[in-house]
Each structure stands twice: as structure tokens, then as C-alpha cells.
Amino acid sequence: MNPTDTIQAPALRSDQSLQQALHRLWTDHAIWTREYVVAAIAGSPDAGAAAGRLLRNQEDIGNAIVPLYGEEAGAALTGLLKQHILIAVDLVAAALAGDNELFAKQDAKWDRNAVDIAEFLGNANPNWDKRDVHDLLAQHLELTRAEVVARLTKDWTKDIAAFDDIMTELLTLSDALACGIMKQFSERFDDPTADDPAWGLRRAMNRLWSDHALWTRNFIVAGLAGADDAGPAAQRLLRNQEDIGNALVPFYGDQAGAGLTLQLKQHILIAAEMVEMVKHNQFGEPFQELEARWSQNAAHIAGYLNGMNPYWPLADVQDLLGQHLLLTLEEVRARFEEDWEADIRHFDDILTEILTMSAALSAGLVRQFPERFTPAGPNGRLPVPPEVTGGRLPEPPKSVRWAPKQATAGNGRSPEPRSVPVDGTEAPSAPAYRSPERSSQGGSEPGKRRVWRSTFRNAVFSNRAEARR
């Protein structure tokens, strides 16, 4: 098997593109609802910005149905969804004020709004059964209430479990909506019942890497604020690294999964140290050393993955990881400087970029193991991979100083096209990295936004240039 010099992710069928587009919209709904809840309960100054981003998501969902149902229907759905959000804002405010009477009033209003949304959708599409849609929306409300209560009582275990359930439930709702659209407009979409195990793999990978982006952000938000849930968020994030490592075990074995988990956990632990130093406004030599270690760790992960799969070219994977690190650093900087608009923009770009990486990794698995992704039967289930024998596996690195082997990749990469809304408009591209403003070590002057000095960009691009030689 000859290594490839670029990552090639296959084009999606039209039914898969619809499912992916709706997944992104409802993932955004879950994430930005949580971001608002977290900020509002903490009394954080970014609560208004999070609410604004959440309201924009309702516009995105409404606009997504315009090509199918018209502008009037899109505007009506947007209005109903915005009511859903604004009632939730009042609900959180009542909970914070301890006003039980107002809370009960808003709660009942929230339930009625869910009935109205289900009624509207059922009238638009007979395949969206009103009772089923209402049941899904009611579950969403119940789980969100549980999340709010858990955060108010600082029960972080229940808080994390509630959000994980919210994400799963909203993706279920997303799939139900996509299924109804494909049934009503069957002439516009490929057959969604056609078996494609590779699509099942990609969906699973998307969830793992979306969790990575989300729980990284949760830790950053809590860590910079010195909030009580920083530790639990970090533990959930570390568990996500185990999930990603375990996902490769059926293909490469326990040793390979453990090795990847080790490298990913180092990635998180280095980032945690950096966040702690940023919180205390420390940007001297120790911080710059951490930046260099973070960049080196990305090179180690890229080398480790390339050692397992030649369809994960070293230079391309390192490029994807480097972009992820750069965008995350910009996100941390934006929160540090309390530039909420930039903070939101960078996280949106992080989620887009990490889903691009997820698609690339999925494509590499399908190309290396094509026999495992042939149709498995009418249920479309992914076959259980047999034991891997004779594969080439690197030893798990024993320290962060482990050096990746020489690259075999060529120039450039062909990233997976980003998710697009149902109306077919392009999702925004990630902006080019801008070097942070430079300042002397220490705090900022009163009345001015804090800025930091960074050598991270040079370290990352130096490693990427080395990989392409």
C-alpha cells in the first residue's frame, strides 16, 4: 500500500450532507445554550454576547428551511425558536432571583412554546409527527432544566451528564427532522436507506471531536475565571481523550489506543498549565516554554498517527493540528482580553476546523481498511473489525520528547469541505492567523484591554515546515 501525499475525504451523498448540515445547526444550539446558561449563572460579562450568538443560531435554523418551505415559514420558525430562547433567559433570571412564582410562570410558557413549535413543524411536514416532535422538544426542556439546577447547586457531575444527554437528544431531534425532509422531498435527495458504514464512522468521529472542542472550551471558560467547575470540566475533557484513543482500538489494538490517549492527554495537560499562567497574567519564559511543548506535542501526535496509517500524511495532520492549536490560543487570548466577539468567532472556527479534521481521519480509516466499510446489510451497522495482524504500529511514546519519523507527505492538503446550511450557502472560512500584539511582561494599563506576547505561531510553523521537507 503506497502512502498518499494528501488527505482526501470523499464527497457526501445529498442525504448525508443534509444530516451533517442539520447536525451542525443543532450542535450549535446545544453549545450556545450552555454557554449562555454558564455565563448567566456565573454573572459573567459575556452572557449578553452568548445570548446574541444563540439568537443568531435560531435565525440560522429558520433560514435553513427557506429553500424548502419559503421565507414566510422560515421567519415563523425563527420567531418561535427565538421565543424559546427568550423564555429560557427569563427562566434563568427567575431561578437566580429565587422567584419561584415567576419561574413557574415562565416554565409553563416554555412548555406552551414547545407545543407551538411542534404544531408548526407538523403542519409544514406530515412526516414530522406532532406528538413525536413535541416529545423530543419536551425532553430537551427537561434536560436543560436539569442542567440549570445542577449548575445552581454546583453539582458538576450532574451538570456534565445533563449536557452530554442534551447533545445526544438534540442530535436525535436533528436526525428526525432530516428524515422527515428526505421523505417529503424524496426527489431531491439520495436514498437515505442505502447502506454506508463509512458514514456511520464519520458521524461517530464527529461526535468525539465535537466533544473535544466543546469541553476544551468549557475548561478554558472555567479555568480563566477561576470557577469551581474547572476541575470537573478538565476531567470530562481528559475522558474525551480516552474515548478518542479507544475509538482506534478495533483497528490498531490496545497498545495503539493507549499511546494516542497518552499523547492527547499530554496535549490537554499542557494546555491546562498555559490557561493557569494566562489567568495570572504570566507571559514570561516559562509560558513560552509551554507554548513550545504544546507545538512539539502536536508534532508527536501527527507522527504517531502517520505511523499507524499512511493515509494520514504527516504534514497534513500536523497542519490540521497546528490550525487547531492556533485557533484555540486565539480563543484563550480573546477571553483574556474580554473581546467577546472575537471569542465567539474563534470558537465557531475551532468547531468547523475540528470537524474538518474528523472527516480527514475518518477518510484515512476507510482508505486503509476498505474491506471493513463495505455494506453490512439492511440495518446499515458498521461491522466489528477483526483483529489487526501484521499492521505497522509505532511503540507508544514514553515521554513528550518522543520524535516523529521523517515525513513522506507531499505539498498541500485537500481539506474536507466545511458543513453548509440546508440552504446551500457556504460556511465562513477560518481567518488567517494574526500574530498577537506584543507587550512587555506583566499586567495591562487601566482602561486598556490586556494583551500578551506569543512565540507560539513561529514554533508551530517551524514544525510544519520541517514536516514538509
What are the pLDDT tens digits along the chain (469 aa)? 455 567 777 788 999 999 999 999 999 999 999 999 999 999 999 999 999 999 999 999 999 999 999 999 999 999 999 999 999 999 999 999 999 999 999 999 999 999 999 999 999 999 999 999 999 999 999 999 999 999 999 999 999 999 999 999 999 999 999 999 999 999 999 887 777 899 999 999 999 999 999 999 999 999 999 999 999 999 999 999 999 999 999 999 999 999 999 999 999 999 999 999 999 999 899 999 999 999 999 999 999 999 999 999 999 999 999 999 999 999 999 999 999 999 999 999 999 999 999 999 999 999 999 999 876 544 444 443 333 323 333 333 333 222 223 333 333 333 333 333 343 333 333 333 233 333 333 333 333 344 444 444 444 444 444 544 5
Position 11 scores a pLDDT of 84
154: left (phi over 0), alpha (psi -120 to 50) or beta: left
Position 405 scores a pLDDT of 30
Enumerate residues 6+ apart whose C-beta is below 8 A from 72.
Answer: none
Do residues 133 and 176 lie in contact, with contact meaning Cβ atoms separated by under 8 Å? yes
Residue type, 100: N
SS3 of 8, please? strand
Q: Over the range 14-48, which residues count as b (16 or more CB within 10 Å of their CB) and which as e?
A: ebbbbbbbbbbbbbbbbbbbbbbbbbbbbebebbe
Query: What is the C-alpha to C-alpha distance for residues 247 and 241, in angstroms, rounded to an integer?
Result: 10
Position 193 scores a pLDDT of 75
Alpha helix ranges (H) inside 337-416: 340-368
Query: What is the C-alpha to C-alpha distance for residues 306 and 298, in angstroms, rounded to an integer?
Result: 12
Query: What is the C-alpha to C-alpha distance for residues 441 and 435, in angstroms, rounded to an integer?
Result: 17
Position 100 scores a pLDDT of 94
Position 71 scores a pLDDT of 98
Query: 3-state SS of the chain: helix, strand, coil percent to 5?
Result: 70, 0, 30
Position 192 scores a pLDDT of 77
Query: What is the C-alpha to C-alpha distance for residues 133 and 174, in angstroms, rounded to an integer?
Result: 10
Position 375 scores a pLDDT of 64
Hey, where are the domains in the chain? 14-185, 197-411+444-467
Q: Which residue bears the cell 513550545?
A: 292
Q: What is the DSSP string of 71-120?
A: HHHHHHHHHHHHHHHHHHHHHHHHHHHT-HHHHHHHHHHHHHHHHHHHHH
